[in-house]
Amino acid sequence: MSKFSGSSPITYKLDTDMTTNTSSQTPHVQFNGVQKSYDGTSLVVKDLNLSIAKGEFLTMLGPSGSGKSTCLMMLAGFETATCGTISINGRPINDTPPHKRNIGMVFQNYALFPHMSVADNLAYPLKVRKIDKDESAERVSKALDMVQMLDFAPRRPGQLSGGQQQRIALARALVFEPELVLMDEPLGALDKQLREKMQYEIKHIHQRLGVTIVYVTHDQSEALTMSDRVAVFNDGIIQQLASPADLYERPENSFVAQFIGENNQLAGTVKEITDDEALISLKDGGEVLATPVKIGKNPIGENTLLSIRPERVILNPTDERIKTLAGDVLELIYLGDHIRCRMLVAGNDQFIVKIPNRAENIGLSVGEKIKIGWQAKDCRALDAV
């Protein structure tokens, strides 16, 4: 799982009900035709089918109101599914109350018990399970040690900083050794630097313990950093379920392309199509090559939205196969490790190119006109929204 090689070689499968590489076993968690409606008319979650393998780190990513949190709450037992079944290890759990599901959970606001010391917070699930004092104390110490908070055992949660509380919440969700841990935007309340640090810590703990983690967030970079697979939610539906690299490199529709990472969009129509390349004529003139992804059966003449990442745009390309467009440099912003260049390209004045700031001077200036282009495989022709 920790091995990873560049532009990932994992092939993408279309069915959202796919199982991972451990597909020979029963999936650890399975959503089967799950729907949820609060008011009886509109569905917040529409026909969810999802299998999560044992030991997987799966992230539910989406904007607020996309249904991702509702799914987590149904899995935790705090919401009931309107229809469909949710199973753990093949056993339906719809009728199991939350306190009998044996699922660890980390909440956004930590939900530490303010009237108990840190040690008592961690001992609570062990006390409920009637584990004897000595073993309980030992397990609490071990869990605190794991999150490097052993010295804080006698403190009250109110005496800790946000990041420290986060660690305690994590330790408490793991101390009773659940096989499944849910995390509901656990890092949402932390500042950026601490959030990134905790992302790596959680990832490392996951790798060490091998528990299954279902993680909910609206932060795409968090999802990319931590997950084995990401389910991108929008409008109550999983738009794409894939590995981080696949999501970024091969988005299946405009929503995913736009939501994951930065993205330039250009509208055009399909002019010609060959094996794995399409010739697209843009609205404002000019023709470019792209990889056809989500265009109809008889695509010639259809509208499409091209999606190209800012860092994949090539300035003054030398490769002769690349079709070029004219671009006007409108703005240059220095951002430390890269320079952000806003251009006017084919009528779009928000066309962004990221130029790495690697010592060599790029010698661009505002007002300049240059040629830009890209490899056909880096540009994807998606559904016109």
Partner 1 sequence: MSFPPYATTGDKIWYYAFRIFSVLIFVFLLFPLLVIIPLSFNSGEMMHYPLQGFSLQWYQDFFGSQRWATAIKNSAIIGFFSMILATILGTVAAVGINRADFPGKQLLLALLISPMMIPLVITALALYLFYGKIGLNDSYLGLIIAHTILGMPFVLITVSATLQGFDYNLMRAGASLGGSPIHVFLNIVMPNIAPGVASGAMFAFATSLDEVVVVLFIAGPEHRTLPRQMFSGIREQLSPTILAAATVLIVVAALLMLVLELLRKRSERLNKPIEGEDA
* Contacting positions for a second copy (CB under 8 A): 2-8, 192, 219, 221, 224-225, 244-245, 248, 260-262, 309-312, 331-339, 354, 356-359, 361-366, 375, 377-378
From the list a second copy, partner 1, none, partner contacted by residue 301 (C-beta under 5 to 8 A by kind): none
Specify the residue, 45 or 224, whose C-beta has the smaller distance to a second copy: 224
CB atoms under 10 Å from CB of 371, counted, come to 13
Candidate list 4, 25, 92, 129; residue touching partner 1; CB under 8 A: 129
Candidate list 26, 37, 46, 98; residue touching partner 1; CB under 8 A: 98
Q: At its nearest, how many Å lie between a second copy and the CB of residue 297?
A: 30
Specify the residue, 5 or 298, whose C-beta has the smaller distance to a second copy: 5
Specify the residue, 139 or 172, whose C-beta has the smaller distance to partner 1: 172
From the list a second copy, partner 1, none, partner contacted by residue 125 (C-beta under 5 to 8 A by kind): partner 1
Task: Tell me how far the alpha carbon of residue 307 is from its chain's centroid.
Answer: 19
Report the 3 state secondary structure along 296-352: CCCCCCCEEEEEECHHHCEECCCCCCCCCEEEEEEEEEECCCEEEEEEEECCEEEEE
From the list partner 1, a second copy, none, partner contacted by residue 7 (C-beta under 5 to 8 A by kind): a second copy
Q: Is 56 helix (H, G, I), strand (E, B) or coil?
A: coil
From the list partner 1, a second copy, none, partner contacted by residue 113 (C-beta under 5 to 8 A by kind): partner 1
Residue type, 19: T
Specify the residue, 176 or 233, whose C-beta has the smaller distance to a second copy: 233
Specify the residue, 116 or 322, whose C-beta has the smaller distance to partner 1: 116
Tell me if 300 sits within 8 A of 319, measured CB to CB.
no
Q: Report the distance separating Cα 39 and Cα 37, nearest Å.
A: 6
Q: Locate 338 and state its tokens.
A: 């890269």
What is the signed CA dihedral for 178, 179, 183, 186, rounded to 10 degrees?
60
From the list a second copy, partner 1, none, partner contacted by residue 255 (C-beta under 5 to 8 A by kind): none
From the list a second copy, partner 1, none, partner contacted by residue 335 (C-beta under 5 to 8 A by kind): a second copy
Tell me if 374 sits within 8 A of 308, measured CB to CB.
yes
Tell whether residue 133 is a contact of partner 1 (CB under 8 A): no
CB atoms under 10 Å from CB of 328, counted, come to 15
Q: Locate 244 and state its tokens.
A: 């981080």
Site string for partner 1, 65-94 (x = CB under 8 A): -----------xxx-x-------------x
Q: Report the distance separating Cα 88 and Cα 182, nearest Å.
A: 13
Q: Locate 144 and state its tokens.
A: 């605190």
Q: Report the distance separating Cα 7 and Cα 86, nearest Å.
A: 34
Specify the residue, 80 or 161, whose C-beta has the smaller distance to a second copy: 161
From the list partner 1, a second copy, none, partner contacted by residue 327 (C-beta under 5 to 8 A by kind): none
Task: Write down the residue that tokens 């393998």 correspond to.
Answer: 53
Binding residues (CB under 8 A) for partner 1: these are 64, 76-78, 80, 94-105, 107, 109, 111-115, 124-125, 128-129, 158, 160-165, 172-173, 176, 182, 190-191, 194
